Amino acid sequence: MKFLQILFAAAFLFTAATAGAQQTAPNAPATPRQWTYKTPKIDRAAVDKHLANPGKVLILDVRRPDELIKNGSFPVFLNIQLSELEKNLAYIPKDRAIIIVSNRAWRGGAAGDQLSAKGFNVVGAAGSLDYEEQGGVIARITPPPPRPAR
């Protein structure tokens, strides 16, 4: 009986040790995703350069409303979710430089490629979280109060 307990404990310790060795260390950097979009990913300096000419630029935010409330966005923007982009093209002006915004620019890159293929002047994709981390100011959005019960 004692032998079985020792054998079981040894097997348990061996399994725990090898399982731990196969896991990634908690602080290990994740493998960065490769940017595969034709739309360039732009940083705060490029965004600010375009924002200096507000009559010539459109900020198109392709995130869901809950993401806008949680993470904020630019002071003025047009919001069309990526999944709704195709059927709302008529609302997007072709005479402005377009910066497409998402949290980290990935959806912005996809939307930028889609719009560029349709003749829109997309100058880049930006992440609002990246913009803020680089020192840019993001506007916080306050959701409307709930409607009173009837």
CA distance 148 to 48: 41
Joined together, the tokens standing for residue 113 give: 């490629």
- The pLDDT assigned to 30 comes to 63
How is domain 44-133 classified at the CATH fold level?
A: Oxidized Rhodanese; domain 1 (3.40.250)
Cβ-based neighbours of 43, under 8 Å, separated by 6 or more: 126, 130, 131, 134
Output Rg (C-alpha) for the chain, integer angstroms.
23
| Residue 147 scores a pLDDT above 70 | yes
CA distance 78 to 83: 15
Taking only the tens place, the pLDDT of each residue in 66-97 is 999 999 999 889 999 999 999 999 999 999 99
- The pLDDT assigned to 150 comes to 82
- The pLDDT assigned to 75 comes to 86
Taking only the tens place, the pLDDT of each residue in 15-38 is 344 344 444 444 545 667 899 999
Question: Does residue 27 or residue 143 have the better pLDDT?
Answer: 143
Residues 41/124, Cβ–Cβ less than 8 Å = yes
| Sequence ranges of the domains in the chain | 44-133
Residues 37/125, Cβ–Cβ less than 8 Å = yes
Q: What is the pTM of this model?
A: 0.75
Taking only the tens place, the pLDDT of each residue in 92-141 is 999 999 999 999 999 999 999 999 999 999 999 999 999 999 999 999 98
